[in-house]
Amino acid sequence: RASPLAVRPTIGASRWSRAAPSQLFASVSGPVYTADDEAAPTVTLFTKEGCTLCDKVKDTLREVSSDIPHSMVAVDITDDENEKWFGMYKYDIPVLHLNGVYWAKHRLEAADATAALQAALDGSFEAQKGEPNAAKFEKEKGATPKGATPKKKKM
């Protein structure tokens, strides 16, 4: 019996093939929510389908949105047009940018979110240290981290 992830062969084809990841999951790129005020800060969430840590970060940001209105846009790092972000963030999602600059990765507490969003409103927010860059790491180390799998190309 074929794997549930297998794709039926086309007429004339003799084997089952494994579905490419992009054939299994829908893109999660796009606006998550938008503030009424156009001057409100914008959070960019670098994510992918099925990222539970990303869901927690979204929940935290949604909770503080009533205190400090902001917009959120999701960028699916597995979308073909986001190869740059996949190369940088594939081992570290969720990654957050605030008004276009690196802010945080992995987890986010409500107090930290409130402080950063307030700083963005005041014009005092600055890019944070520690932005991940998997491509640079792999180049320096000469290999992918144990247990990590490189992105598969569409056939």
* pLDDT tens figures, 78-96: 999 999 999 999 999 999 9
Give yes or no for residue 17 having a pLDDT over 70: no
Nearest-angstrom CA–CA distance, 142 and 98: 31
* Higher local confidence (pLDDT), 12 or 82: 82
The pLDDT value given to residue 141: 81
Give the pLDDT confidence of 102-144 residue by residue, as tens digits. Answer: 999 999 999 999 999 999 999 999 999 999 999 888 888 876 5
Q: What is the mean pLDDT of residues 51-71?
A: 97
Alpha-carbon distances of 113 from 52, 69, 105, 140, rounded to whole Å: 18, 11, 12, 32
Strands 95-98 and 42-47: antiparallel
The pLDDT value given to residue 140: 85
Read out DSSP for 105-122? ES---HHHHHHHHHHHHH
Write down the pTM of the prediction: 0.76
Nearest-angstrom CA–CA distance, 90 and 153: 15
The pLDDT value given to residue 5: 45
Catalogue the E-assigned strands of the chain: 6-7, 17-18, 30-33, 42-47, 71-76, 95-98, 101-105
- Tell me phi and psi for residue 74, to 5 degrees: -95, 140
The pLDDT value given to residue 142: 76
Structural domains in the chain? 24-141 (3.40.30.10)
Nearest-angstrom CA–CA distance, 104 and 144: 22
Band of the pLDDT at 72, cuts 50, 70, 90?
A: very high
Q: What is the mean pLDDT of residues 13-42?
A: 75
